[in-house]
Amino acid sequence: MSDFLDILTNPSFWVAVLRIATPLIVGTLGVLLCERAGVLNLGIEGIMVAGAFTGWLAVYAGAPLWGGVLVAALTGAVLGLLHAFLTVVLALSQHVSGLGITLLATALSYYGYRVSFPKVSTPPTITPFQEMGWLGLPILSQQTPLTLLALVAVPVVAYMLYRTPVGLAVRMVGENPQAAEGQGVSVVAVRTGAIVLGSALMGVAGSFLTLSAFNAFFFNMVNGRGWICVALVVFASWRPGKALLGALLFAFFDALQLRLQQSGAAVLPYQMYLMLPYVLSILALVLVARRASYPQALMKPYRKGER
């Protein structure tokens, strides 16, 4: 028990929590935007891999760090455009399109990495984002600028969703696309825009791993974070504020199990600690399921002009 308290009172623990939460916050916001517009985007896992790879590659090739982030966002946007084309224009199964994109994006990224660095045994590195010591705030000073970006993104997305006409359009398109069409709003345009923007965020979430948390690209780097974001969106009832809360909560448990392993207070085999985040996600889904107020048009294909 005292080990437990030791961990909690150590500020470096909370630094780790925020760091672990960052890609989850951004990724969850991305999924949230897509699902609010009525489209499930299971491409997130692959888009995060692709964002991690292309962002890192751009920096390795000489671009500034923020240039790398931009490249990752563009990669996500392009993949999002593909998903939008398949699911909104062609009205294909959203599950299959998303999974196909995850497979494609992951395979392309791994292929690209191998082609670019065929004979390396240790992954090549770049200089990642530095801590923001100039901030002078506890915990936040030890984060990188991308974490600040993530924290700012939450109120920005909330503002956009609830205070702007385009946000209302996104919400309406996810609830009743016929109603939106009847008010002169193009369902295809709004859904595509939401998916592209959401996927860009997913790409940025991936780039955090290679440009901030670590400094190189590894295989199996994303390791299910994308799927956890999909679970977190349900947990958050599709609200940005709760998404932040969910990501922090999840990161809390993830950081906790790492610390417990390291401190030697681990009573159970380390694998059981590693399982904890995934088990918690499933639990969260079950607990919230009954009360979940889905965007009503989520996962229902919309074909304009069809009788």
* Interactions with another protein, residue window 187-206 (CB under 8 A): 190
- Taking the alpha carbons at both ends of the chain, their separation in whole angstroms is 64
Q: Is 137 in the site for another protein (CB under 8 A)?
A: no
Closest distance between another protein and the C-beta of residue 129, in Å?
Answer: 28
The residues near 174 (Cβ < 8 Å, ≥ 6 apart) are 35, 36, 37, 38, 295, 296, 297, 298
H/E element, 177:
helix 177-182
Contact 198, 23 (CB under 8 A): no
Q: Which is nearer to another protein, 129 or 217 (CB)?
A: 217
Nearer to another protein (CB atom), residue 8 or residue 89: 89
Residue nearer to another protein on the CB measure, 61 or 179: 179
Q: Is 194 helix (H, G, I), strand (E, B) or coil?
A: helix
Candidates 106, 142, 147, 257: give the one binding another protein (CB under 8 A): 106
Q: Which is nearer to another protein, 87 or 142 (by Cβ)?
A: 87
Query: Applying CB under 8 A, does 147 fall inside the site for another protein?
Result: no
Burial class (CB in 10 A: 0-12, 13-18, 19+), 152: exposed
Q: Which of 42, 57, 150, 251 binds another protein (CB under 8 A)?
A: 42
Binding positions for another protein, 59-98, rule CB under 8 A: 86, 89-93, 95-97
39 phi/psi in degrees, rounded to 5: -125, 125
Query: CA gyration radius for the chain?
Result: 20
Rounded (5°) CA angle 208-82-183: 105
Q: In terms of Cα–Cα distance, which of 76, 292, 302, 23 is closest to 178?
A: 302
Q: Of residues 7, 230, 236, 243, which one binds another protein by CB under 8 A?
A: 230
Sole residue written with tokens 């935007």: 33
Stretch that binds another protein, among 12-20, 71-79, 106-114, 253-261 (CB under 8 A): 106-114
Q: Residues in contact with another protein, total (CB under 8 A)?
A: 73
Site for another protein in 241-280 (CB under 8 A): 269, 271-272, 274-275, 278-279
Q: Is 108 in the site for another protein (CB under 8 A)?
A: yes
Binding residues among 168-187 for another protein as defined by CB under 8 A: 168-169, 171-172, 175-176, 178-185
